[in-house]
Amino acid sequence: AFKPLIFSGVQPTGNLHLGNYLGAIRKFVALQETMDCIYCVVDLHSLTAQLVHEDLKDQTRQITAAFLAAGIDPDKHIVFNQSRVMQHAELAWIFNCVARIGWMNRMTQFKDKAGKDRENASLGLLAYPSLMAADILVYRATHVPVGDDQKQHLELTRDIAQKFNNDFSDRIAELGVGVEIQMGDETVNGFFPLTEPVIGGPAARIMSLRDGSKKMSKSDPSDLSRINLTDDADTISKKIKKAKTDPEALPSEIAGLAGRPEAENLVGIYAGLADTSKEAVLKEYGGQQFSVFKPALADLAVEKMAPIAGEMRRLMAEPGHIDSVLRNGGERAGVLAEANMKTVRDIIGL
């Protein structure tokens, strides 16, 4: 079997929000206790959203500061930015030749981001999942903690790994570099693992505070729709107070949240922040009005987020320290990536 290894990435585009924190970063922190982890600021990916940047390096430092402020240990694990390890881009090119255009065209994120004028979207936006597969598989990572929105990209990552393993099965066997992979009743030998997402819990998909049908997102034009990791206590309280809700009291059972996406979202946020379940939150607040629940949620959010924001500000005042974390992480990641790429080049015959 493959050695368990965690990989995940966050783009340096705009402010980090509560969805990124609860859906991804908090899981990164929890997993580092028991697993080897590689956490990456995916600056190359951010070029698909915005090619010309004034402040890409600074945005990269911000995400790194958030990782560190949330509690990721860059000495025990690896924290770096993607563009330092060119093997990501090299493997992405190979995966561009493995993957099929039809696979990419089916991605809902591509359809959303490209909008109506798909012919005019960048080729990078279409090929994004191929670079994401390379980010993960260049380390032969076995698990990826992500929000629910990334599920489809992880499926594609497995499709790419499987097609590569299958297309090159003879070479992999000849070189003796395969690892046994259990697929149903069958055992196959592959060079790349079939990476599993780590999704779940009450906060896998945090919705906009203004519209329960849209996910909380960096790209939402309304700042009231999200809580940013760097919002101060007053701003957090104000945004929760203004969050869209319905006039009913909270139910005491989960079933009572059906058809009430805004209420369910706030309960999920509470559960995520308190590290408990939606059931447990409803046990405590069932029968209460939002006039009671919202202030409690605001207090909890401030209690959990303010220390992270404070630590981020402290770290951002020392850009030299952040850069040295990234440099050091990049060197260690580069050694691992190059060892795997050497084998990939051998397999392909490059």
Q: Contact residues for ligand ADP (CB under 6 A)? A: 10-11, 19-20, 23-24, 146-147, 149-150, 204-206, 215-218
Q: Identify which of residues 112 and 248 has a Cβ nearer to ligand ADP in the complex.
A: 112
d(CA 2, CA 137): 12
Q: Identify which of residues 208 and 237 has a Cβ nearer to ligand ADP in the complex.
A: 208
Q: Identify which of residues 11 and 96 has a Cβ nearer to ligand ADP in the complex.
A: 11
The residue type of 266 is: L
The least distance separating ligand ADP from the CB of residue 280, rounded to whole angstroms, comes to 20
The least distance separating ligand ADP from the CB of residue 336, rounded to whole angstroms, comes to 21
∠ CA 333-334-336, rounded to 5°: 65
Residue nearest to ligand ADP (CB): 23
- Phi-psi region for residue 6, left (φ > 0), alpha (ψ -120 to 50) or beta? beta
Residues 177, 123 contacting (CB under 8 angstroms): no
Q: Identify which of residues 19 and 251 has a Cβ nearer to ligand ADP in the complex.
A: 19
The least distance separating ligand ADP from the CB of residue 153, rounded to whole angstroms, comes to 9
- The closest of 182, 191, 291, 314 to 245, measured between CA atoms, is 291
Q: Identify which of residues 128 and 191 has a Cβ nearer to ligand ADP in the complex.
A: 128
d(CA 226, CA 218): 8
Q: Which residues are catalytic?
A: 113, 215, 218
The least distance separating ligand ADP from the CB of residue 329, rounded to whole angstroms, comes to 18
Q: How far is CA 8 from CA 44, 78, 96, 213, in A?
A: 14, 11, 20, 26
Q: Identify which of residues 214 and 345 has a Cβ nearer to ligand ADP in the complex.
A: 214
What lies within 8 Å, CB to CB, of 343 at 6+ separation is 175, 177, 191
Q: Identify which of residues 107 and 206 has a Cβ nearer to ligand ADP in the complex.
A: 206
d(CA 91, CA 164): 12
The least distance separating ligand ADP from the CB of residue 264, rounded to whole angstroms, comes to 13
d(CA 340, CA 139): 7
The least distance separating ligand ADP from the CB of residue 131, rounded to whole angstroms, comes to 13
The least distance separating ligand ADP from the CB of residue 204, rounded to whole angstroms, comes to 6
